[in-house]
Structure 1
Amino acid sequence: NNECNRLRSLVARGHLYDRDSCGYTALHYAARHGHLEACRLLITAGLGVDEVTNGGVTALQRAAMMGRDAIVELLLANGANAAHRDADGRTALHRAAEGGHLRCCQLLVAHRADLRQVEDERHQKPFDLVRDHVSDREQLRCLLRVSEVDASATSTTSS
C-alpha cells in the first residue's frame, strides 16, 4: 500500500531511527494505530522492538493500550520485553488491562507477564485493572487460571 511504500522510502533514506520530540519512533506510532504491515516492515528493517520514549514507553505498551492483539503478538514473537516498566511503573499488561483488552492480556500472560505482583506508581496491579475493566467474568476466570498455572510452573522450576 501507499503508506508502506512511503515508509520503505524513509527507511531507505536512513530515517529508521528518527524520533519525535517525545521520543516516539515510527514503530510506536504504527503499533498504536494498528498498522501491522508497517510494524513488520520496521522490525524487518532493524528497528528494535524495545525502543523507549522519553517516558519509557515501548511499542508493546502502545499496542496493548489500544487492544492491537495482532501487533502485541508480533512484537512478543520478535522478543519484546513483556515485563518492561515505563516511568510510571506500568507494564504492557497494566495498559491492556486498563483498556479491558482481554486478548492482549491473554497474550501477555502467556509470555509470563505478571498479573498479580507488579504494582505501578499508583500501587495498582494488572489484576486489579483486569477485574475492574473486563466485563466477561468467564473469560476473566480463565485468564486468572492461566496466570495461576503459569505462576506455579515458574515457582516449581525456580526452586
Structure 2
Amino acid sequence: MNKQELEDFLKGAGESFRPLTEEGWTFEALGVPIQAYVNVAKDRMRVMAAVSLVENVPAEQALHLLRSGFHSDARYGIYGETLFAVFVHALSSLCESDLRVGLRQVTELAQSFGTDYSRAPMRFQWPRPSPEEAQRGGVRRRTEDAVRKSVESLRRRQERMD
C-alpha cells in the first residue's frame, strides 16, 4: 500500500474524515475518534485512538493492558501523557485486509478499555483473586511479587556483568 491508497481506504472507513497534517488524518469509526499517521520515509503507518490520560489509569491495570495485546495486531501504548489503542504496520507490505483488521482491533480496544481490555473474540477478564489470594493481597500482591522478582533477577545479571 502507498500513502494515497491508505488515505483512500481511510476515507471510506468511517465518518467525518479530514486531514490533520500532510501525514495524518482523523475520522470516526464505529463511534470511536481515530487518528491515522504515515511516515513514507520510514515505511510505517499507525492507526490509533486515545483511550485515557495516563494519570487516570491505575497502576494495577498495566498487567491487563499488556496481556490484552499479546495475541493481536493492535495493542495499548503510551505516547506523552495519553494511553492509546494503536495498530502499527509497515506501509509497503500493508494490504487492505490487514488494515481492516487493525482498524477493527483499535476500535474494539478503545471500546473495551476498563472492562475486558480485549478485541473480539479473545477475552482477558479482570482476574478475581481466590479467597486465599485476597487475604495475601490479591492480584496487586501477585503483580508486585512478579515485578520484584524480575528486578532482583536483572540486578543479579548486572552484578555478574560488572
Rg comparison, structure with higher value: 2
Structure (1 or 2) with the greater helix fraction: 1
- Asked if Structure 1 and Structure 2 have the same fold, meaning a TM-score greater than 0.5 normalized by the shorter chain, the answer is no
Structure showing greater relative contact order (alpha-carbon pairs closer than 8 Å, 6 or more residues apart)? 2
The structure richer in strand per residue is: 2
TM-score band w.r.t. shorter chain: under 0.3
TM-score by length of 1: 0.28
